[in-house]
Homo-oligomer: A and B are copies of this chain.
Protein backbone atom coordinates (compact mmCIF):
# COMPACT_ATOMS: atom_id res chain seq x y z
CA UNK A 1 0.00 0.00 0.00
CA UNK A 2 1.34 3.39 -0.96
CA UNK A 3 1.93 6.00 1.76
CA UNK A 4 -0.32 8.38 -0.16
CA UNK A 5 -3.38 6.21 0.29
CA UNK A 6 -5.53 7.16 3.25
CA UNK A 7 -8.24 4.97 4.71
CA UNK A 8 -11.44 6.01 6.39
CA UNK A 9 -13.55 3.39 8.07
CA UNK A 10 -17.14 4.42 8.65
CA UNK A 11 -18.18 3.49 12.15
CA UNK A 12 -21.63 2.12 11.51
CA UNK A 13 -23.93 0.29 9.16
CA UNK A 14 -23.74 1.59 5.60
CA UNK A 15 -27.14 1.05 4.03
CA UNK A 16 -26.89 0.02 0.40
CA UNK A 17 -29.17 1.75 -2.10
CA UNK A 18 -30.93 -1.34 -3.40
CA UNK A 19 -30.90 -3.68 -0.39
CA UNK A 20 -28.64 -4.89 2.37
CA UNK A 21 -25.89 -3.07 4.20
CA UNK A 22 -22.17 -3.11 4.87
CA UNK A 23 -20.86 -3.18 8.40
CA UNK A 24 -18.19 -0.49 8.87
CA UNK A 25 -17.00 -0.19 5.29
CA UNK A 26 -13.60 1.32 4.52
CA UNK A 27 -12.99 3.94 1.84
CA UNK A 28 -9.53 4.44 0.36
CA UNK A 29 -8.73 7.91 -0.91
CA UNK A 30 -5.88 10.24 -1.78
CA UNK A 31 -5.68 14.01 -1.56
CA UNK A 32 -3.49 16.69 -3.14
CA UNK A 33 -3.09 20.34 -2.14
CA UNK A 34 -4.42 21.96 1.03
CA UNK A 35 -7.94 22.57 2.25
CA UNK A 36 -8.24 26.31 2.86
CA UNK A 37 -9.67 27.82 6.02
CA UNK A 38 -13.04 28.51 4.48
CA UNK A 39 -13.05 24.87 3.36
CA UNK A 40 -14.49 25.94 0.03
CA UNK A 41 -11.68 24.87 -2.32
CA UNK A 42 -12.26 21.10 -2.39
CA UNK A 43 -12.58 19.23 -5.68
CA UNK A 44 -13.84 15.64 -5.63
CA UNK A 45 -12.95 13.35 -8.54
CA UNK A 46 -14.86 10.20 -9.49
CA UNK A 47 -12.91 7.91 -11.80
CA UNK A 48 -14.04 5.26 -14.26
CA UNK A 49 -14.60 1.60 -13.53
CA UNK A 50 -11.04 0.42 -13.17
CA UNK A 51 -8.76 3.06 -11.56
CA UNK A 52 -7.69 3.35 -7.95
CA UNK A 53 -7.69 6.57 -5.91
CA UNK A 54 -4.18 7.26 -7.22
CA UNK A 55 -5.15 9.90 -9.76
CA UNK A 56 -1.79 11.69 -9.54
CA UNK A 57 1.63 11.34 -7.98
CA UNK A 58 2.51 13.01 -4.71
CA UNK A 59 5.30 12.93 -2.15
CA UNK A 60 3.77 9.82 -0.60
CA UNK A 61 3.60 7.98 -3.92
CA UNK A 62 5.73 9.23 -6.78
CA UNK A 63 4.33 6.76 -9.33
CA UNK A 64 2.25 8.46 -12.04
CA UNK A 65 -1.50 8.46 -11.40
CA UNK A 66 -4.26 7.80 -13.91
CA UNK A 67 -4.82 11.55 -14.49
CA UNK A 68 -1.22 12.61 -13.88
CA UNK A 69 -1.20 15.42 -16.42
CA UNK A 70 -4.39 16.95 -15.10
CA UNK A 71 -3.81 17.26 -11.34
CA UNK A 72 -0.85 19.09 -9.77
CA UNK A 73 0.86 22.37 -9.17
CA UNK A 74 0.20 24.64 -12.16
CA UNK A 75 -1.85 21.96 -13.92
CA UNK A 76 -5.52 22.34 -14.97
CA UNK A 77 -6.77 21.08 -11.60
CA UNK A 78 -4.25 23.21 -9.78
CA UNK A 79 -3.23 21.83 -6.41
CA UNK A 80 -1.76 25.24 -5.48
CA UNK A 81 -5.35 26.49 -5.39
CA UNK A 82 -7.52 23.43 -4.81
CA UNK A 83 -7.69 20.59 -2.35
CA UNK A 84 -8.27 17.60 -4.59
CA UNK A 85 -9.79 14.34 -3.37
CA UNK A 86 -10.10 11.06 -5.24
CA UNK A 87 -11.93 8.13 -3.62
CA UNK A 88 -11.53 4.53 -4.79
CA UNK A 89 -15.10 3.50 -5.64
CA UNK A 90 -16.93 1.41 -3.09
CA UNK A 91 -17.01 -2.11 -4.56
CA UNK A 92 -13.57 -1.75 -6.13
CA UNK A 93 -10.46 -3.59 -4.96
CA UNK A 94 -7.89 -0.87 -4.29
CA UNK A 95 -8.46 -0.27 -0.60
CA UNK A 96 -12.19 0.44 -0.50
CA UNK A 97 -14.57 -2.26 0.69
CA UNK A 98 -15.80 -4.50 -2.12
CA UNK A 99 -16.54 -8.11 -3.04
CA UNK A 100 -12.84 -8.98 -2.58
CA UNK A 101 -12.83 -7.62 1.02
CA UNK A 102 -13.30 -9.68 4.15
CA UNK A 103 -16.87 -9.74 5.47
CA UNK A 104 -16.46 -9.09 9.22
CA UNK A 105 -19.50 -11.30 9.89
CA UNK A 106 -17.87 -14.38 8.37
CA UNK A 107 -14.15 -13.71 8.24
CA UNK A 108 -14.27 -14.71 4.58
CA UNK A 109 -14.27 -12.64 1.37
CA UNK A 110 -17.70 -11.30 0.50
CA UNK A 111 -17.47 -12.49 -3.13
CA UNK A 112 -21.07 -12.85 -4.42
CA UNK A 113 -22.59 -12.33 -0.96
CA UNK A 114 -21.69 -8.64 -1.39
CA UNK A 115 -24.98 -6.75 -1.78
CA UNK A 116 -25.96 -5.42 -5.21
CA UNK A 117 -23.77 -2.39 -5.85
CA UNK A 118 -25.09 0.83 -7.40
CA UNK A 119 -23.44 4.10 -8.36
CA UNK A 120 -25.57 5.62 -5.59
CA UNK A 121 -23.56 3.58 -3.08
CA UNK A 122 -20.32 4.81 -4.64
CA UNK A 123 -21.58 8.40 -4.39
CA UNK A 124 -22.75 7.98 -0.80
CA UNK A 125 -19.47 6.36 0.26
CA UNK A 126 -17.54 9.28 -1.23
CA UNK A 127 -19.90 11.65 0.61
CA UNK A 128 -18.89 10.03 3.90
CA UNK A 129 -15.25 10.77 3.06
CA UNK A 130 -16.14 14.39 2.30
CA UNK A 131 -17.90 14.72 5.67
CA UNK A 132 -14.99 13.02 7.40
CA UNK A 133 -12.69 15.68 5.90
CA UNK A 134 -14.91 18.36 7.43
CA UNK A 135 -16.13 19.73 4.10
CA UNK A 136 -19.70 20.98 3.95
CA UNK A 137 -19.76 21.97 0.32
CA UNK A 138 -17.41 20.95 -2.49
CA UNK A 139 -16.18 23.55 -4.92
CA UNK A 140 -16.54 21.05 -7.79
CA UNK A 141 -17.33 17.41 -8.42
CA UNK A 142 -15.66 16.00 -11.54
CA UNK A 143 -16.59 12.60 -12.90
CA UNK A 144 -15.18 10.72 -15.89
CA UNK A 145 -16.94 7.84 -17.67
CA UNK A 146 -18.72 5.70 -15.04
CA UNK A 147 -17.50 8.34 -12.58
CA UNK A 148 -19.59 10.95 -14.39
CA UNK A 149 -22.70 8.99 -13.43
CA UNK A 150 -21.38 8.49 -9.87
CA UNK A 151 -20.81 12.25 -9.77
CA UNK A 152 -24.31 12.92 -11.07
CA UNK A 153 -25.68 10.59 -8.37
CA UNK A 154 -23.68 12.59 -5.82
CA UNK A 155 -25.10 15.91 -7.07
CA UNK A 156 -28.67 14.60 -7.05
CA UNK A 157 -28.46 12.92 -3.65
CA UNK A 158 -26.39 15.54 -1.84
CA UNK A 159 -27.29 18.73 -3.68
CA UNK A 160 -26.22 21.04 -0.86
CA UNK A 161 -22.75 19.46 -0.78
CA UNK A 162 -21.64 20.57 -4.24
CA UNK A 163 -21.61 23.88 -6.15
CA UNK A 164 -20.21 22.88 -9.54
CA UNK A 165 -20.19 19.73 -11.62
CA UNK A 166 -18.02 18.61 -14.53
CA UNK A 167 -19.12 15.49 -16.42
CA UNK A 168 -16.63 13.96 -18.84
CA UNK A 169 -17.67 11.33 -21.40
CA UNK A 170 -20.59 10.15 -19.31
CA UNK A 171 -24.41 10.18 -19.38
CA UNK A 172 -27.69 10.31 -17.47
CA UNK A 173 -27.91 6.52 -17.82
CA UNK A 174 -26.60 3.73 -20.03
CA UNK A 175 -28.18 2.97 -23.40
CA UNK A 176 -28.66 -0.61 -24.70
CA UNK A 177 -25.43 -0.75 -26.75
CA UNK A 178 -23.31 0.00 -23.67
CA UNK A 179 -25.40 -2.36 -21.57
CA UNK A 180 -24.89 -5.08 -24.19
CA UNK A 181 -21.12 -4.52 -24.20
CA UNK A 182 -20.85 -4.73 -20.43
CA UNK A 183 -23.28 -7.63 -20.17
CA UNK A 184 -21.14 -9.59 -22.65
CA UNK A 185 -17.96 -8.68 -20.76
CA UNK A 186 -19.51 -10.05 -17.59
CA UNK A 187 -20.65 -13.18 -19.40
CA UNK A 188 -17.11 -13.75 -20.69
CA UNK A 189 -15.80 -13.81 -17.12
CA UNK A 190 -18.70 -15.86 -15.80
CA UNK A 191 -18.26 -18.37 -18.67
CA UNK A 192 -14.64 -19.01 -17.74
CA UNK A 193 -14.63 -22.40 -15.96
CA UNK A 194 -12.19 -20.92 -13.46
CA UNK A 195 -14.73 -18.36 -12.30
CA UNK A 196 -16.48 -21.09 -10.27
CA UNK A 197 -19.51 -18.90 -9.60
CA UNK A 198 -17.33 -16.30 -7.94
CA UNK A 199 -15.47 -18.80 -5.74
CA UNK A 200 -12.32 -18.79 -7.91
CA UNK A 201 -8.93 -19.67 -6.52
CA UNK A 202 -7.19 -16.33 -5.88
CA UNK A 203 -3.97 -17.80 -7.26
CA UNK A 204 -5.71 -19.07 -10.39
CA UNK A 205 -8.45 -16.57 -11.28
CA UNK A 206 -10.52 -16.56 -14.53
CA UNK A 207 -7.77 -14.81 -16.50
CA UNK A 208 -9.08 -16.00 -19.87
CA UNK A 209 -12.48 -14.44 -19.32
CA UNK A 210 -10.87 -11.27 -18.01
CA UNK A 211 -8.61 -11.09 -21.05
CA UNK A 212 -11.54 -11.41 -23.46
CA UNK A 213 -13.53 -8.82 -21.51
CA UNK A 214 -10.65 -6.38 -21.56
CA UNK A 215 -10.26 -6.73 -25.32
CA UNK A 216 -13.93 -6.00 -25.87
CA UNK A 217 -13.51 -3.07 -23.51
CA UNK A 218 -10.63 -1.66 -25.55
CA UNK A 219 -12.77 -1.86 -28.71
CA UNK A 220 -15.33 0.43 -27.10
CA UNK A 221 -12.81 2.68 -25.32
CA UNK A 222 -11.01 3.64 -28.52
CA UNK A 223 -12.32 4.32 -32.01
CA UNK A 224 -12.29 2.60 -35.39
CA UNK A 225 -10.96 5.84 -36.86
CA UNK A 226 -7.94 5.92 -34.53
CA UNK A 227 -7.10 2.29 -35.28
CA UNK A 228 -7.44 2.76 -39.04
CA UNK A 229 -4.89 5.58 -38.86
CA UNK A 230 -2.66 3.88 -36.34
CA UNK A 231 -2.60 0.28 -37.52
CA UNK A 232 -4.18 0.05 -40.96
CA UNK A 233 -3.43 -3.49 -42.14
CA UNK A 234 0.05 -3.57 -40.60
CA UNK A 235 1.22 -7.05 -39.62
CA UNK A 236 2.45 -7.96 -36.13
CA UNK A 237 6.22 -8.31 -36.10
CA UNK A 238 6.30 -11.72 -34.43
CA UNK A 239 3.64 -13.33 -36.61
CA UNK A 240 5.90 -14.88 -39.24
CA UNK A 241 7.35 -17.32 -36.70
CA UNK A 242 4.01 -18.84 -35.79
CA UNK A 243 2.62 -21.90 -37.51
CA UNK A 244 -0.80 -21.40 -35.95
CA UNK A 245 -2.96 -19.48 -38.43
CA UNK A 246 -5.13 -18.19 -35.57
CA UNK A 247 -2.32 -16.48 -33.68
CA UNK A 248 -2.39 -12.68 -33.87
CA UNK A 249 -1.40 -11.72 -37.41
CA UNK A 250 -2.32 -8.04 -37.53
CA UNK A 251 -0.81 -5.31 -35.35
CA UNK A 252 -4.22 -4.45 -33.92
CA UNK A 253 -4.49 -8.01 -32.58
CA UNK A 254 -1.15 -7.92 -30.78
CA UNK A 255 -1.95 -4.44 -29.45
CA UNK A 256 -5.13 -5.82 -27.87
CA UNK A 257 -3.28 -8.86 -26.54
CA UNK A 258 -0.71 -6.63 -24.81
CA UNK A 259 -3.39 -4.45 -23.25
CA UNK A 260 -5.36 -7.46 -22.07
CA UNK A 261 -2.32 -9.10 -20.47
CA UNK A 262 -1.54 -5.92 -18.53
CA UNK A 263 -5.04 -5.61 -17.10
CA UNK A 264 -5.94 -9.22 -16.32
CA UNK A 265 -4.86 -10.27 -12.89
CA UNK A 266 -4.59 -6.65 -11.74
CA UNK A 267 -8.32 -6.39 -11.07
CA UNK A 268 -10.44 -8.70 -8.95
CA UNK A 269 -13.01 -10.39 -11.23
CA UNK A 270 -15.93 -10.19 -8.79
CA UNK A 271 -15.27 -6.49 -8.18
CA UNK A 272 -15.25 -5.97 -11.92
CA UNK A 273 -18.62 -7.72 -12.27
CA UNK A 274 -20.19 -5.60 -9.53
CA UNK A 275 -18.89 -2.27 -10.86
CA UNK A 276 -19.83 -3.14 -14.44
CA UNK A 277 -23.36 -4.07 -13.35
CA UNK A 278 -23.65 -0.85 -11.32
CA UNK A 279 -22.89 1.13 -14.50
CA UNK A 280 -25.87 -0.50 -16.22
CA UNK A 281 -28.24 0.11 -13.32
CA UNK A 282 -27.84 3.86 -12.79
CA UNK A 283 -30.68 5.94 -14.20
CA UNK A 284 -31.24 9.59 -13.33
CA UNK A 285 -34.91 9.10 -14.23
CA UNK A 286 -35.34 7.02 -11.06
CA UNK A 287 -35.24 10.34 -9.19
CA UNK A 288 -38.82 11.49 -9.54
CA UNK A 289 -39.86 9.27 -12.45
CA UNK A 290 -38.29 11.16 -15.37
CA UNK A 291 -35.01 12.71 -16.42
CA UNK A 292 -36.59 16.16 -16.08
CA UNK A 293 -37.60 15.42 -12.49
CA UNK A 294 -34.12 14.07 -11.78
CA UNK A 295 -32.46 17.22 -13.10
CA UNK A 296 -34.74 19.34 -10.89
CA UNK A 297 -33.05 17.96 -7.78
CA UNK A 298 -29.73 19.55 -8.75
CA UNK A 299 -28.64 22.77 -7.00
CA UNK A 300 -25.64 23.66 -9.10
CA UNK A 301 -24.21 27.12 -9.73
CA UNK A 302 -22.25 26.01 -12.75
CA UNK A 303 -21.69 22.89 -14.83
CA UNK A 304 -19.74 21.65 -17.80
CA UNK A 305 -20.41 18.56 -19.91
CA UNK A 306 -17.53 17.34 -22.06
CA UNK A 307 -17.84 14.63 -24.69
CA UNK A 308 -15.97 13.25 -27.65
CA UNK A 309 -17.31 12.81 -31.18
CA UNK A 310 -15.81 9.33 -31.64
CA UNK A 311 -17.03 7.92 -28.29
CA UNK A 312 -19.24 4.87 -28.95
CA UNK A 313 -19.77 3.99 -25.26
CA UNK A 314 -21.17 7.39 -24.22
CA UNK A 315 -21.96 9.03 -27.58
CA UNK A 316 -22.20 12.78 -28.08
CA UNK A 317 -26.01 12.63 -28.24
CA UNK A 318 -25.90 11.62 -24.59
CA UNK A 319 -23.61 14.57 -23.81
CA UNK A 320 -26.16 16.91 -25.38
CA UNK A 321 -29.00 15.34 -23.42
CA UNK A 322 -27.06 15.73 -20.19
CA UNK A 323 -26.04 19.34 -20.89
CA UNK A 324 -29.58 20.29 -21.94
CA UNK A 325 -31.01 18.77 -18.78
CA UNK A 326 -28.56 20.41 -16.40
CA UNK A 327 -28.93 23.76 -18.13
CA UNK A 328 -32.69 23.64 -17.49
CA UNK A 329 -31.92 24.11 -13.78
CA UNK A 330 -28.44 25.66 -13.98
CA UNK A 331 -28.18 28.29 -16.72
CA UNK A 332 -24.40 28.49 -16.40
CA UNK A 333 -23.90 25.10 -18.12
CA UNK A 334 -21.47 24.61 -20.94
CA UNK A 335 -21.39 21.75 -23.46
CA UNK A 336 -18.02 20.95 -25.03
CA UNK A 337 -17.90 18.48 -27.91
CA UNK A 338 -14.32 17.55 -28.70
CA UNK A 339 -13.16 16.30 -32.06
CA UNK A 340 -10.65 13.77 -30.64
CA UNK A 341 -10.26 10.55 -32.60
CA UNK A 342 -9.31 8.36 -29.63
CA UNK A 343 -12.89 7.68 -28.56
CA UNK A 344 -14.11 7.24 -25.02
CA UNK A 345 -10.58 7.06 -23.58
CA UNK A 346 -9.65 10.48 -24.96
CA UNK A 347 -9.88 12.08 -21.50
CA UNK A 348 -7.03 9.77 -20.43
CA UNK A 349 -4.85 9.96 -23.52
CA UNK A 350 -5.62 13.14 -25.45
CA UNK A 351 -4.40 15.68 -22.95
CA UNK A 352 -3.87 18.36 -25.58
CA UNK A 353 -7.61 18.40 -26.16
CA UNK A 354 -8.75 18.07 -22.56
CA UNK A 355 -6.23 20.24 -20.70
CA UNK A 356 -7.46 23.61 -22.05
CA UNK A 357 -11.10 22.69 -21.44
CA UNK A 358 -10.56 21.82 -17.78
CA UNK A 359 -8.19 24.77 -17.39
CA UNK A 360 -10.76 27.20 -18.68
CA UNK A 361 -13.44 25.84 -16.38
CA UNK A 362 -11.36 26.50 -13.27
CA UNK A 363 -9.91 29.79 -14.50
CA UNK A 364 -13.34 31.23 -15.19
CA UNK A 365 -14.41 30.06 -11.71
CA UNK A 366 -11.73 32.32 -10.22
CA UNK A 367 -13.04 35.26 -12.21
CA UNK A 368 -16.53 34.95 -10.78
Seen from chain A, the residues whose Cβ lies within 8 Å of a Cβ on chain B are 116, 173-177, 179-181, 183-184, 186-188, 190-193, 208, 212, 215-216, 219, 224, 227-228, 230-233, 245-246, 248-253, 256, 273, 277, 280, 283, 312, 315
Interface of A is mostly: helix
Q: Is the CB of A246 within 8 A of B277?
A: yes
User: How many monomers of this chain does the complex have?
Assistant: 2
Contacting residues, chain B, for A246 (C-beta < 8 A) = 186, 190, 273, 277
Chain B residue nearest to A224 in the complex (CB): B177
Contacting residues, chain B, for A252 (C-beta < 8 A) = 176-177, 179-180, 183
Q: How far is the CB of A204 from chain B (nearest CB, A)?
A: 14
26 contacts between A and B (CB under 8 A): A116-B245, A174-B233, A175-B233, A176-B227, A176-B230, A176-B251, A176-B252, A177-B219, A177-B224, A177-B252, A179-B233, A179-B253, A180-B219, A180-B227, A180-B256, A183-B250, A183-B253, A183-B256, A187-B212, A191-B208, A193-B193, A224-B312, A224-B315, A245-B277, A246-B277, A312-B312
Contacting residues, chain B, for A312 (C-beta < 8 A) = 224, 312
Contacting residues, chain B, for A230 (C-beta < 8 A) = 176
Q: How far is the CB of A37 from chain B (nearest CB, A)?
A: 45
